[in-house]
Amino acid sequence: MNQKAVATSRIARRPPRTLVVGGGFAGLAAATALVDRGHDTQLVERRPFLGGKVFSFYDPAAGHAVDNGQHAFLSAYRNTMALLDRWGAGHRVAFGRRLEMVFMEAPGRARRFAGTGLPAPLHLLGALLRFEALPVRDRLAMARPALDLLALDAAGRRELDAMSFAAWLSRHDQSPQAVAAFWEPLALAAVNGSPQEVSAYMALQVLALGFLGSERTSHLGFATEGLSALVEPFVPYFTARGGELLARREVQAVREAGERSDGFRWVVEFRDGDTLAADSVVLAVPHWRLARLVDPQLRQRAGLTASEGLAAAPIVSIQIVLDRPVVEHAAVALLASPIHWVFAAGRLRSDAPPGALALTVSAGRELATLPQDEVAAIARRELERFFPSARGAQVLACRVIKEMDATLSCAPGSEALRPAQETILPGLAVAGAWTRTGLPGTIEGAVMSGLLAVEAIERERGQACSLAQPLSDPGGAALLARWVGRALGRRAAPVESLLERNETCSK
């Protein structure tokens, strides 16, 4: 055999080498799927820890691992839960036994939005009709958007991306009270923006994910330990299968390997000057970082320039430990308050003291500009206003965490700017909650994107596979209701006319 043939046969025999840049949930999902499929995989992470936007750190003052911000899981997060189970961390997320959310309009006045236990979508309609925060007239009016949601399939929802959720709600005769008491807290929690700020498509996607699948997809879940405990078992899983973790290593540039060296097509350059070559690369970094890693020409060729128009939305979290528990429910939305949600960390977590609370301000652009002690004072004031038993309680620890690019900003029209995970360049894929997943910036979106990126890499190698589980399909009862809704002409306003009317509206 001549030398060239020896080299070629060596290349043919070695496993494909794939590099994943970014150790958030998108990168972790991709790296897991790659080692499972026999790739020689390297995962590069800039920071000393994994998890990206999902992490915790031990706070001696608080006496437990404090999260960078409360994260809620939905039982419809099929890909996330499958990934956590694969690592052996699935038991670290506990789900409620049914759909339940608590909204507080004034001190001591908690209103439950609770599913009926009936099959979807009856559980949702039952919850709407029994929601005492609103007068009966408003509750009945809420059935209209619910029925229209049923009537729209995924393609129909997608056509609503140019419209704001607020405009969609107004087209469905939702009173200002219904928006303030229900739709706004829901949009803030699920899409990280007010109904004015987010697209109808993204809001409806989350509602469809949670409410249309089956009764079981609408349960909220929370980590029972610090968030970093969720990703902890990834490292032994990954390295036991031959994966190599390169932490504290920042990638500075990604480029094509000009001349084919040993058959590798891509080269990444590290900040310290080192380089690594690979057959394929999954770039699982935030969208604004991608623009720094890939030069404009390559971005153009890869079809990644549109994402430069995407923006991020912040989340401000206040982690407080009081000397006693003051919040009865696991999660409470505060209405007409600068603090949007209060989570009873002391109840949700096995390792936190009973008085631990996590307060969240979604899309909190204004609060994010205030000094930490002012934010803490606002949090304390609101706690005392809504929960009288907090008055006089001693604050044992308080920490304000501002995540300025917590999630993708799902402004109307942003869907068209989100790229697919597959690029036109062989061996280059992108991942991240900001890529096109059909979901807003969520853990589930991040995990799906990582799996879709690996599907793209494998397809290009002629090893097509199906890894990402699709967003839950409507259950039988929901399909029946969709059929009935359509038959009754519930979809009287076609999507196109809604869009037209919205444009007229915004003039």
Ligand X SMILES: Cc1cc2nc3c(=O)[nH]c(=O)nc-3n(C[C@H](O)[C@H](O)[C@H](O)COP(=O)(O)OP(=O)(O)OC[C@H]3O[C@@H](n4cnc5c(N)ncnc54)[C@H](O)[C@@H]3O)c2cc1C
Binding site for ligand X (CB under 6 A): 21-27, 44-47, 52-54, 68-69, 71-72, 250-251, 284-286, 289, 293, 315, 317, 403, 406-407, 432-433, 441-444, 446
Shortest CB 59 distance to ligand X, Å: 16
DSSP E strand boundaries for 248-394: 251-261, 264-270, 275-278, 280-283, 312-322, 331-334, 341-343, 356-362
Rank residues 220 and 481 by Cβ distance to ligand X and give the closer one. Answer: 220
Residue 272: phi, psi to the nearest 5?
-85, 5
Rank residues 422 and 444 by Cβ distance to ligand X and give the closer one. Answer: 444
Shortest CB 147 distance to ligand X, Å: 27
Looking at residue 123, its amino acid is H
Q: Residue 144, exposed/middle/buried by CB under 10 A (0-12, 13-18, 19+)?
A: middle
Tokens 């790659």 locate to 34
Rank residues 124 and 448 by Cβ distance to ligand X and give the closer one. Answer: 448
Is the peptide bond between 185 and the residue preceding it cis, with omega within 30 degrees of 0? no
Rank residues 44 and 167 by Cβ distance to ligand X and give the closer one. Answer: 44
Q: How far apart are CA 186 and CA 128, in angstroms?
A: 13
Query: What secondary structure letter does DSSP report for 147?
Result: H
Strand pairing report for 40-45 and 56-59: unpaired
Rank residues 253 and 479 by Cβ distance to ligand X and give the closer one. Answer: 253
Rank residues 141 and 370 by Cβ distance to ligand X and give the closer one. Answer: 370
Shortest CB 487 distance to ligand X, Å: 35
Q: Side-chain half-sphere of 86: how many Cα atoms within 13 Å?
A: 19
Residue 106: phi, psi to the nearest 5?
-155, 165
CA 314-25-235 angle, 5° bins: 135
Tokens 């604050």 locate to 395
Q: How far apart are CA 313 and CA 402, in angstroms?
A: 11
Shortest CB 69 distance to ligand X, Å: 2
Residue 407: phi, psi to the nearest 5?
-140, 170
Rank residues 337 and 360 by Cβ distance to ligand X and give the closer one. Answer: 360
- If one counts every other C-beta atom within 10 angstroms of the C-beta of residue 12, the result is 8
The residues, ordered by sequence, that sit 6+ positions from 123 with a Cβ below 8 Å of its Cβ are 98, 99, 115, 116, 117, 211, 215, 218
CA 388-391-395 angle, 5° bins: 130
Strand pairing report for 428-430 and 280-283: parallel
Pair of tokens at residue 308: 């430069």
Pair of tokens at residue 458: 């494998």
Q: How far apart are CA 175 and CA 139, in angstroms?
A: 10
Number of H helices, E strands in the chain: 20, 20
Grouping H, G, I as helix, E, B as strand and the rest as coil, residue 356 is strand
How far does CA 165 lie from the centroid of its chain? Answer: 18
Q: State the greatest distance between any 2 C-alpha atoms of the chain, in Å, as a whole number.
A: 84
Shortest CB 389 distance to ligand X, Å: 26
Q: How far apart are CA 16 and CA 38, in angstroms?
A: 8
